[in-house]
Each structure stands twice: as C-alpha cells, then as structure tokens.
C-alpha cells in the first residue's frame, strides 16, 4: 500500500477556447471551468501541474491513418466547402464539425494523454489526470461522436511499451467503441465499458465484483479510466440518473487497486455539472474531501444560485430489473472464466518514448514571435499551474 500517491495533472488553457458551434452540445469551455474549480479548492497545491506538449502529426499517426491526420491538419472552416468528398469520407460535418483551431485542439488533448502515459511509464507518478482527454469514439480513419483523434488509444499504445497488459474502463454513458475496435484483435488490452446502465452506479449492486474479477484474472500493469460525465443526472444528452458521488465512487474503487492509473474526461454536456464532477474526482484521487460550498472563482456564476459542489441524482425510473442485471453479471463472469489468465507477451525492444522533429535555434527568425507553447519548451519546469493575471482563461466569455 503506497503511503501517498504522486499525481500529475495536465492542462492547457487553449484547449477550452475552441468553439464547436452555437447549436453543438460539446462545449470545451467546461475544461476551463473544471480547472478553475480545481484551483479554487487549492487542489493544484497537492499535484504536479504540467502543460502538455502538442502531439506531432507523426505521433497521431501511430494509430490514425496518415491521410486522415494530414486532412485534419489542413482543413479549415473557410476551405471545407472545397473538400466535400473528403469531408464525407472522414465523417466530418454535423456531429464532428470543422472549426477554427481544430487540429491544435486535437494536438493538445492528445498530447496530454500521451504525456500522462509517459510519466506513468517512467514511474514519475502513480496517477496521471487529463480531463481534456477521453475522446473514445474516434476511429482510425474517421471522426465519430464529437471525437476526432482517439487520445485513449494513443495513450494505451504508449503504456503498452512498458506494460504487458492494459485494462481500459469506460463509465461514459456511451459505449467506448473506438477504443474497443482499436484493440479488438489483441489480448494485451482488455476494454470494459459500462453504458446504458440505468440509475445504479458502478460499482454498486455487486458490479464491483466484475471489475475485481477482471483485475484478478487479467492482472493489468496499468489501468486507463475514462470518466465521461454524460452519465450524470440532468445531462443534456445523457439519459442516466447518476449522482456525482455515485460517479466518483467508481474512481475511488479503481484507485484502490494501487495500479498505475491514467484518468481522462470524456462526454458531459451540462458543463457546470461536468466541472463539479471532475473536481470532486480530482479530490478523490488526492484523498481530499471537498466542502460542498464552492469557493469564489472566475466561473462562480455558473454554479448559482446555491453554489453547491454536489448535485442529487434525478428521479428517472430504473428500467433494469435485478434479474436482468444478474444475468449480465453471470455472463460477464463466465466470459472471464473462459479467457486466458494474464496473457503474456514476447520480449522485444522497447520503442522510444516520442519523436521530436529537429529544432535548430540558429535557423529561427528572430523577428518571428513564438507562441506560448513553443516558448515553454525552452524552459525546464516541473511545477506549473495557471492562476491570477497569467491565466489564459481569465477573461473567457461563455461559449
């Protein structure tokens, strides 16, 4: 039993500044709200805070097809009408619109999950958090379900460089189909997705036995936990009935295994509740109980009038009978009994952590202004967080 977990937290203010469109339910602004809520509870003082690198196209192509990555890199709202065939081929459009800074958005959230995996691999932390990640629907050659780049697959690929087996757990209201599809033909990754599960929260009503049995049978070297918050009561798109405490109970349970853990966000479309949920779960990972009254912060108006951290579950009728749930549990446990116990992997040379294109300072134009992210790469820092006047999101308007 570890005396105290070392936790790395990844955040870049730019990830919350993009805009999917006026009628689109995905609001990356929720990430700014989450971060400020984390800061208001002083949780950043108990973690190591990092700005993630922007994932290079060659890193994204470790899973995605190079032509798809290249198209995401060059398409813009002003040019999309010239590429109607490609837009259809890559499933870009209504659910997955092209917006300003789309590719940079993908680079940031994917870079956060990749960096999180690398810190875990190098034993620099026990738990790594990237609330911007968790976009589990993206496929190898196309966007899907508001997701463009599947950061979870890229993070798992990194973890597989150091771990024989990785367990992926998904508590989003939607099935984590992109991750399951990516690793369908390998026994080195097991995916467990809890979706369409009524008003009972995992790990309630005996379902902890399923996850416990999975861990006991599969013996993963690392766990990736996708914490989509669209399974909360009152979500704009979700139809579940979870309270925040119920959702957080899953995080608490998985943490108790004391296995290297990568935690990401995911869905969640009532943004004030998303911020509440992921802040509570950051506290859970830090073993910190948070008072219910939300401290003053830049986004306090979104939590009015009561400014409470926790929300009650809803009053939706649970249509899952006990016999139905019992049948599912029996079937899953039987499936586990039939699989190979802790499948092994042949020894091989570990691939390098990442690829960084050559950077020659002598060739840089002294009159060219570098963006903040590039400047940061010239500064070796292990303690970085956003607060006060230097906060990228200080004057962020509602998206």
Q: Which residues are catalytic?
A: 137
Of the two residues 366 and 138, the one the predictor is more confident about is 138
Sequence-ordered list of residues with C-beta below 8 angstroms from that of 169, at least 6 positions apart, any chain: 192, 193, 194, 211, 223, 224, 225, 226, 250, 254
pLDDT score of 198: 40
pLDDT score of 226: 95
pLDDT score of 3: 57
- Is 230 annotated to bind ligand? yes
Predicted TM-score (pTM) of this structure: 0.84
- Is 269 annotated to bind ligand? yes
**CATH number, domain 7-312+319-338, options 3.40.800.20, 3.40.640.10, 3.40.50.2300, 3.30.470.30:** 3.40.800.20
- Is 100 annotated to bind ligand? no
Reply yes or no on whether the pLDDT at 388 is more than 50.
Answer: no
The winner for highest mean pLDDT among 175-189, 229-243, 383-397 is 175-189
What is the rounded distance in angstroms from the CA atom of residue 41 to the CA atom of residue 256? 23
Of the two residues 371 and 321, the one the predictor is more confident about is 321
pLDDT in tens, 303-342: 988 899 987 666 677 777 788 878 888 888 888 888 777 7
pLDDT in tens, 155-203: 999 999 999 999 999 987 777 789 999 999 999 999 988 754 444 333 2
- Is 306 annotated to bind ligand? no
pLDDT score of 380: 37
Q: What DSSP line would sit under 286-353, residue for residue?
A: TT-PPPSBPPP-TTGGGGTTT-BS------------HHHHHHHHHHHHHHHHHSPSS------PPPPS
């Amino acid at each position: 039993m570890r005396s105290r977990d070392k936790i790395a937290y990844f955040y870049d203010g730019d990830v919350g500044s993009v805009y999917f469109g006026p009628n689109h339910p995905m609001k990356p602004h929720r990430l700014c709200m989450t971060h400020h809520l984390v800061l208001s509870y002083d949780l950043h003082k108990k973690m190591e805070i990092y700005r993630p690198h922007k994932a290079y196209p060659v890193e994204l192509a470790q899973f995605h097809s190079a032509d798809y990555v290249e198209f995401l890199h060059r398409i813009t709202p002003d040019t999309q009408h010239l590429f109607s065939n490609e837009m259809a081929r890559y499933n870009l459009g209504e659910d997955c619109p092209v917006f300003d800074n789309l590719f940079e958005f993908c680079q940031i959230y994917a870079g956060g999950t990749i960096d999180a995996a690398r810190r875990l691999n190098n034993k620099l932390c026990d738990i790594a958090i990237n609330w911007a990640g968790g976009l589990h629907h993206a496929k190898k050659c196309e966007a899907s379900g508001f997701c463009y780049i599947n950061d979870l697959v890229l993070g798992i690929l990194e973890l597989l460089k150091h771990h024989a087996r990785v367990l992926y757990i998904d508590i989003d209201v939607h099935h984590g189909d992109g991750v399951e599809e990516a690793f369908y033909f390998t026994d080195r990754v097991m995916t467990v997705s809890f979706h369409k599960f009524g008003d009972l929260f995992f790990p309630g009503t005996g379902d902890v036995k399923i996850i416990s049995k999975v861990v006991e049978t599969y013996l993963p070297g690392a766990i990736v936990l996708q914490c989509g918050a669209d399974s909360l009561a009152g979500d704009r798109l979700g139809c579940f009935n979870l309270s925040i405490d119920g959702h957080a109970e899953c995080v608490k349970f998985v943490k108790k295994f004391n296995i290297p853990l990568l935690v990401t966000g995911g869905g969640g479309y009532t943004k004030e509740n998303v911020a509440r949920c992921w802040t509570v779960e950051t506290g859970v990972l830090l073993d910190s109980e948070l008072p219910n009254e939300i401290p003053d912060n830049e986004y306090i108006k979104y939590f009015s009038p009561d400014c409470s951290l926790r929300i009650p579950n809803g009053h939706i009728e649970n249509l899952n009978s006990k016999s139905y749930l019992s049948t599912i549990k029996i079937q899953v446990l039987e499936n586990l009994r039939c699989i190979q116990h802790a499948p092994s992997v042949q020894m091989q040379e570990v691939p390098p952590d990442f690829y960084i294109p050559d950077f020659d300072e002598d060739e840089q134009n002294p009159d060219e202004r570098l963006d903040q992210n590039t400047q940061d790469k010239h500064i070796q820092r292990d303690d970085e967080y956003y607060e006060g006047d230097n906060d990228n999101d200080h004057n962020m308007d509602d998206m």
